Structure 1
Amino acid sequence: MNRIQFLQHLKLDYPDAASAAPRRKFRGGFAVKTKIEPAGVDKRTVEIIFSRGLPEEPIVFVDGPADSPHRYRDGNLCMWFPYDPPEARWCRPDGPTALLGHIAAHLIKEEHYRQTGEWPGVEAPHRRSLPHTEWHE
């Protein structure tokens, strides 16, 4: 799915979504912003960045509380292990609605963590040798 198709599909389910210039650090790709309201979580603004170097690995920033064991140092979400099989992570052909579903699920898990101190679900090992940004500890 290319950029234009991604944006067209995104607008079908999220009409307020807008294309945005990626943050300076991620020049050469494209970004979109929209709002989501996962069950049990306040409405959040989501910024999804596709960098030119790693178009299959979106970088996702979300406003609101950031205390989570599954965020990179710069605050972007760590939703899956980048080398997981396709069925365990988002892939471009899945489309924007599936990506926003992954983001919503991650935010629900973060909220659960903030309330209980426990992360629900599977956790990948944390190492520094992974791509696109500094790995969290």
Structure 2
Amino acid sequence: MTRPGPHRPAWFSRPAPRLLFQHRIASTGLAVRAVRPPRALRGGFAVAIDIRDPDLPEQTVTIVFGRGRPDTPHVFSDGPRHSPHRYDDDSLCMWYPEDPPEQRWDRRRDGPVVLLGLVLAHLLREEWWRRTGEWAGPEAPHTAQEAA
């Protein structure tokens, strides 16, 4: 993964890429809106998406890109938080940070709709875990983790 240097601004520093990201999510039929990133990720870019799925509690998902790692999303949900796959800041742990790149979401390769699919799959796994105690998907060993 490349980080922006002093001569390379974050992908979301210009309006066109931000609007395109929002438009692609909106093309799924879900309402998406730009929101202010949380204080810890200020200076970044964030969108909120209202999730209305019959298999999930109603919730709003916020996808945040920070300046420090602009290609790595932090995903938050205001729905039920009890889960074995959340970071200390309550963001979703959707992949292991040490996984090879092909096992993690990539903005250029996958795009916003794939990210949204990964978010929904994670939320469904969390809901299944809350109901059954079983995680329906691959897992990496968890110790105290920092948000990636």
Mapped partners of 2:136, 2:81: distance in 1 = 17
Q: Which shifted more, 64-73 or 11-20?
A: 11-20
Q: CA 1:121/1:52 → structure 2, altered by over 3 Å: closer, same or farther?
A: same
| CA RMSD after TM alignment | 2.0
Pair 1:21–1:73, CA change in 2 (3 A): same
2:113 aligned to which of 70, 94, 97: 97
Q: Which residue of 2 aligns with 1:35?
A: 50
In structure 1, the partner of 2:135 is 119
Q: Which has the higher contact order (CA 8 A, sep 6+)?
A: 1
- Label 1:112 to 1:129 Cα distance change in 2 as closer, same or farther (>3 A): closer
Alpha carbons 1:27, 1:51 under 8 Å: kept = yes
Aligned length: 132
After superposing the two structures, state which structure 1 stretch, 106-115 or 35-44, moved more: 35-44
How far residue 36 of structure 1 moved from its aligned partner, in angstroms, is 2.0
Cα offset, 1:12, TM superposition: 2.1
Runs of 4+ residues over 3 Å off in structure 1: 127-132
Cα offset, 1:91, TM superposition: 0.9
State the percentage of identical aligned residues: 48
Partner Cα distance (2:125, 2:72) in 1? 20
Q: Deviations 1:61-98 (Å, cap 9, x if unpaired)? A: 10111110000122110000123223322110211111
Q: Which residue of 1 aligns with 2:75?
A: 60
Q: TM-score, normalised by structure 2?
A: 0.79
Q: Does the 8 Å CA contact 1:40/1:108 hold for their aligned counterparts?
A: yes
Change (3 A) 1:85 1:117: same
Q: How do residues 1-137 of structure 1 correspond to structure 2 at under 5 angstroms? A: 2-14=17-29, 16-38=31-53, 40-93=55-108, 94-128=110-144, 132=148
**Aligned mates of 2:116, 2:126 — CA distance in 1:** 15
- Distance in 2 (CA, whole Å) between partners of 1:62 and 1:23 is 13
Distance 1:107 1:129, change over 3 A: closer
SS in 2 for 1:104: helix
Give the aligned residue type for 2:113.
T
Does the CA-based 8 Å contact 1:79-1:106 persist in structure 2?
yes
- Sort the Cα spacing of 1:59 and 1:74 in 2 relative to 1 into closer, same or farther, 3 A: same
